[in-house]
Amino acid sequence: MKKTVFLLAAILVGFCSSYADDRPIAFTKLPAAAQAFVHKYFPASANQAFQNPIVTKEIEWFDEDPYTVMFLTGDKVTFTSKGAWKEFDGRTVPVPEEIIPANIKAWVAQSYPGAQIIKIDKDSRDIEIKLSNMIEAKFDLKGNIMEIDIDD
């Protein structure tokens, strides 16, 4: 009986993981909002490494964040199925000021003057950021601090 349950669980895991896959797609297949975001914050004229990003689409049953755009610099943006940004991971480019909620910008400026936000990740419950000084913080959607940590 235990072997049968184990075997069924293994088959189920294998079946589900076969549907979770990143497939390369053309940049032009991104939703228009995602294309505009990339052109605005990663202009090819600013850095040659921004000219030919790697674009993938997550193939999964209930994935809300199916698109990832990654540049040769390591900078990466994840978008929802409708083209709204979900995560911005800037290796060479800080997170654009325009996409950071005002409360969070104010908290960073007051608590860690001179630090830049290099990563931001938002979901339906919270917003997480990482600063250039390796401080990580989590906020509720209203911009109130919930957690703070140091990235080791």
| DSSP element (H, E) containing 38 | helix 32-41
The SS3 call for residue 73 is coil
**pLDDT tens digits, one per residue of 77-99:** 999 999 999 999 999 889 999 99
* Number of residues written out for the chain: 152
Structure tokens at 70: 């990654």
Let me know the angle formed at the C-alpha of 126 by 77 and 120, rounded to the nearest 5 degrees.
30
At 89, which amino acid appears? D
From the number of C-beta atoms within 10 Å of its C-beta (0-12, 13-18, 19+), residue 131 rates as buried
Q: What is the pLDDT of residue 22?
A: 81
Contact 130, 139 (CB under 8 A): no
Question: What are φ and ψ of residue 120, in 5° steps?
Answer: -140, 140
CB atoms within 10 A of CB 21: 11
Q: How far is CA 3 from the centre of its chain?
A: 40
At 59, which amino acid appears? I
Q: What is the pLDDT of residue 61?
A: 62
The SS3 call for residue 97 is helix
Q: What is the pLDDT of residue 39?
A: 93
Q: What is the pLDDT of residue 53?
A: 94
Residues in the chain where the model's pLDDT stays below 50: 4-19
